[in-house]
């Protein structure tokens, strides 16, 4: 009896000792392909705007006298306020990302309980701020055209409208993306990681657009 018990005990110990402690094939943590694709695409957009900056500096270097005269027509305080509006939208966009990461599509408290806002409320605020920026840029265009600064007026007009105009188109594209994300949050039966990833990707684009505008503002309005 003693040897049998000892034998069974040995078998038990041997079996427990040889049990695998780690997986045979460890899993790899792969990067999110949507995020990687977005970063690659934004890199190409960065090269595009780098070309616009190069064009602007080249034209300014060959037409310094005209540049000083035409740049004096810019309403710098108005552009500064418009810039602050756009930069503020980056903060509200990031708050929406934090809510999306919590998988919280909508607010859980009062309308003005900002700490309980969800992704849709923050992204709606971001959309409004971006729309205000576009409206402000349209007002600026109207004023400059009345002062004979147009796309075809001279080199300064061409450089100004090409750089700021292409950026404005990118802002409008971002606003459309926000509407798409907000609409998807309302339509989806369950707000999951797929919807959250889409919101994060759109935030990448929006932050990129804001950073590009800061560069444009410094070059066009500050370093006149």
Angstrom distance (rounded) from CA 100 to CA 119: 6
Alpha helix segments (H runs only) across 110-154: 119-146
Residue 112 DSSP one-character state: T
Tokens of 137: 């840029």
Taking the model in full, what pTM does it have? 0.81
CA-to-CA dists, residue 99 to 32, 123, 160, 196, 205, angstroms: 19, 10, 37, 9, 18
Residue 132 has pLDDT above 50, yes or no: yes
Q: Who wins on pLDDT, 46 or 83?
A: 83
| Full DSSP string of 160-221 | HHHHHHHHHHHHHHHHHHHHHHHHHHHH-SS--HHHHHHHHHHHHHHHHHHHHHHHHHIIII
The Cβ of residue 33 has, within 10 Å, a number of other Cβ atoms equal to: 8
When pLDDT is averaged across residues 114-126 and rounded to a whole number, the result is 93
Lowest pLDDT segment from 5-19, 58-72, 186-200: 5-19
For residues 143 and 12, what is the distance between their CA atoms, to the nearest angstrom? 88
Q: Residue 194 — very low, low, confident or very high, per pLDDT cuts 50/70/90?
A: confident
**Segment (H or E) for 68:** helix 64-71
Summarize pLDDT for 9-49 with one digit per residue, the tens: 444 444 444 444 444 444 334 456 766 777 788 888 889 99
Residue 207 CA: distances (Å) to CA of 94, 120, 142, 210: 9, 18, 27, 5
Tokens of 175: 């606003």
Assign residue 148 a region: left if phi > 0, alpha if psi is -120 to 50, beta otherwise?
A: left
- Structure-model confidence comparison of residues 130 and 66, the more confident one: 130
Structure tokens at 41: 């695409």
Q: Which of 98, 89, 174 is nearest to 128 (CA)?
A: 89
Domains and their CATH numbers in the chain: 48-222 (1.20.120.80)
Average pLDDT over residues 100-112: 87
Percent of the chain at pLDDT > 70 equals 84
């Amino acid at each position: 009896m003693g040897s049998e018990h000892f034998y069974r005990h040995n078998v038990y110990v041997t079996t427990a000792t040889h049990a695998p402690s780690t997986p045979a094939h460890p899993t790899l943590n792969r990067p999110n392909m949507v995020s990687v694709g977005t970063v690659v695409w934004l890199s190409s957009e960065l090269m595009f705007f780098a070309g616009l900056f190069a064009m602007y500096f080249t034209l300014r270097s060959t037409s310094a006298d005209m540049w000083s005269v035409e740049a004096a027509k810019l309403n710098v305080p108005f552009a500064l306020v418009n810039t602050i509006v756009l930069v503020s939208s980056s903060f509200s966009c990031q708050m929406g990302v934090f809510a999306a990461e919590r998988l919280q599509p909508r607010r859980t408290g009062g309308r003005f309980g900002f700490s309980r806002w969800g992704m849709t409320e923050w992204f709606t605020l971001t959309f409004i701020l971006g729309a205000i920026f576009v409206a402000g840029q349209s007002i600026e265009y109207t004023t400059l055209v009345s002062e004979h600064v147009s796309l075809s007026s001279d080199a300064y007009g061409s450089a100004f409208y090409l750089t700021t105009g292409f950026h404005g188109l990118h802002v409008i594209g971002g606003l459309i993306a926000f509407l798409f994300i907000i609409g998807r949050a309302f339509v989806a039966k369950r707000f999951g990681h797929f919807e959250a990833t889409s919101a994060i990707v759109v935030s990448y684009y929006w932050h990129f657009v804001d950073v590009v505008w800061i560069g444009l503002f410094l070059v066009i309005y500050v370093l006149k």
